[in-house]
Amino acid sequence: MSHDDLLAIIEDTPPSQDANEPAWHILVVDDDPEVHATTRFALNGVQLLGHSVQLTSAHSAHEALQLLRDNGHFAVILLDVVMETQDSGLQLVKRIRDELQQHEVRIILRTGQPGYAPELDVFSHYDINDYRTKAELTRTRLLTSLCAALRTYEQIRTIAESRRGLQLIVNATAELMQRHALNAFAEGVLTQITALLHLPLEGVVCVQRGSPFDTSDEQGLFVIGAAGLLADCFAKPLEHIADDHVRQAILQCISQREHLLEHDHSCLYLHSGCHEAAVYLASPAQLRPLDRQLLEVFSANLSVCFGNVRLIEQLEYTAYHDLLTGLLNRSGFLREIARHSTSAEHCVALLDIAHFTDLNDGLGHDFGNKVLCQLGERLRQGLPETVSLARLSADLFALLGPREQINPARIHALLEEPLQVENMNLPVQAALGFCELLEQAENPLTLLQRANIALNRAKKSLQVQYEYFIPEMENNTRWRLEVIHQLRRDFEAGKLEIWYQPQINLATGKPSGVEALMRWPDGNGGFVQPPAVFIPLAEYSGLILDLGEWALEEACKALQQIIPLPSTVHRMAVNVSMPQLRQSSFAGKLATILGRHAINPANLELEITESIAMDEPKVVRRGLDTIKRLGVRIAVDDFGTGYSSLSHLRDLPIDCLKIDRCFISEISGGSGGMFAETIVAFARKLGLSTVAEGVETAEQAGFLRGLGCTEAQGYLYAKPMPLPELLNFLSGHRQS
């Protein structure tokens, strides 16, 4: 018998070894105590593949199963086939693989009854690494079988760890991209790295260049993630970390701009664009090559995530803040309202600067921007942090906060002192609209709209500078929206009509012109709304552009039928609105309509109101000059009711003044016509014709004729009528 085959019986006492030394954990499962003793003797003091061996004994399949449930770090199991039952060892193999899902541990079967479990069948049906009879398993063969099993185990573990690590990296990348704040990102980094390397959370620190909260400090190093004893260092400078070893490692990593992989720690360098960060990891032993490779891959992903998180933070800031003033923008303010929508003690306020457009036009946009910034800073400094501030549009600011802070007296007090802009003292006047939050949660946009309704009321009022929203305001607004909706629907359905009112030459008593007037019939002989109601609503909604173009088209069609009649009518008057005049394409559209219907431009007269003429003089003058070059006549309607500058009026290319009906109604008993007389005299001086509106009596007509007024229209002659009635009316006034 060779020396290799001699096995001595020894006491079941484990050999002494360093507790920190990594060892192979091997489980011996056998119901024979001698097998445990001889196995321990054979492996006593042995180094396999560079590591010592640590044995654990189980004397039954049941005991082994419990040990495996509690400890999943066994590398090899030396397993007897026959114990409690003839196949308990084989059944244990199935439970290890199927029930415990431990596929990495290597299993070497040992049996004293080889005939009971044929070797080929066992290898075919069970996931084992080797199968030996106890008689043939000498010390040398035991060691060689263990070495082969351990080498296989190490390779499988490497592949499994790589797969697990890469899966963690993939999952971490997705998870970290969900963390849109740097502190949440840092927390995710700590969690993922400790899971990747099986390290304690207390040994990981994440540091970035630049303060996470103070944008003025972009060069200092600040802790953005830490755990354990270092958790209270979050958002503090690196100097707050008391451990000099940790500080120096992080400083070295960032200064050298590369990873540091030392025997007791590692430090990962992260960078993306101008952003830098480092992650310190304390490790009890030098990292394995596999772990280093995983860290390299993970750190590359971290760099991308880090840059993306910073970009997302910048995008989020841009999405919810006004870049000029640094206040919230509309989206950010709506989000703040949503957060406080159930706070009944809160109030929303809108602040609109008076005459800001004039300031911008007169002193330039740069000066206007400085005014906005100064006002934003005034509000920020004068109101507590509990108040949210926003700039919603050019000169429209919004405030949200407790009612005792958001009220007219408090806000007007903040505006009493002039703003200091470029050595100028600039007084600020503003209109305010308030909407108090109710106890039940409401839509943020609805609350903002209600505050805007109140603001618009305040801007129109000459007595007060602020308004609180009340439900009646919304009811009126809802009614207006309903009218606009119905108007649009009926217009698209072709239900609107153009009616015509004749204009009479006062000298001859014959029709000389026709005014086209828009009507909204209800289908039952009446009207849905009068023009004084639906025309302003059409202008408010933008529908007036389509209505105006349609009216011109219909008027020119009617003029085609009127011109051939044997009457003295040679002119069609059509009202135009300010939105139409603002259109650069309006003159081109007008020329197209005239050409399509073969209308002489001199037969068309466009009417603008006096208020429009003075509202935007430059825009009006530019538009009228273009129209005048087409050969179209221009009249000023409702003259005398506005506040026109005579010098501006003199510069406009107009042909006719229409005297408002309020001055005609004053003519009674041969007196009261002072304003009409003044207008007629003024028009004569400028070489303009005149048309008196609302003439209802022969006395008024005679008085106007005596003044030298050119033409008149009103119920004395004819009411507005549909086109067929107009054609009959004109046919009855044949040219003499």
What does the alpha-carbon distance between residue 364 and residue 369 come to, in Å, rounded to a whole number?
Answer: 9
Mean pLDDT, the chain, as a whole number?
82
Res 690 pLDDT > 70 = yes
pLDDT (average), residues 326-330: 91
Q: 202 pLDDT band (50/70/90 cuts)?
A: low
**pLDDT average, residue stretch 37-52:** 87
Single-letter amino acid, residue 402: P
694-715 tens-digit pLDDT: 999 999 999 999 999 999 999 9
What are the distances in angstroms from CA 533 to CA 460, 530, 610? 18, 6, 19
Instruction: Label residue 85 by pLDDT band (50, 70, 90).
Output: confident
Is the overall model pTM greater than 0.85, yes or no? no
Taking the C-alpha atoms of residue 590 and residue 575, their distance in angstroms, rounded to an integer, is 13
pLDDT number for residue 723: 95
- For residue 142, what pLDDT is reported? 87
Q: What is residue 2's predicted lDDT score, i.e. its pLDDT?
A: 43
Instruction: Read off the pLDDT band of 427 (50, 70, 90).
Output: confident
Residue 671 pairs in a beta bridge with 668
Rounded Cα distance, 542 and 519, in Å = 18
Q: What is the 3-state secondary structure (H, E, C) of 633-654?
A: EEEEEEECCCCCCHHHHHHCCC
Span 129-140, pLDDT tens digits: 888 887 777 888
With a cut of 90, say whether residue 115 has pLDDT above it. no
pLDDT at residue 736 in the model: 46
Cβ(571)–Cβ(514) under 8 Å? yes
Q: What share of the chain in percent tops pLDDT 90?
A: 30
As given in the structure block, the two tokens for residue 513 are: 């012109």
Residue with tokens 């008689």: 135
Nearest C-alpha neighbor of 410 from the set 427, 387, 392, 390: 387
pLDDT, tens digit, 9 for 90 and up, residues 216-250:
666 788 877 676 666 677 668 888 888 888 889 98
- Burial group, residue 725, by CB count within 10 angstroms (0-12, 13-18, 19+): middle
Which three-class secondary structure state does DSSP give residue 655? coil
pLDDT of residue 243: 84
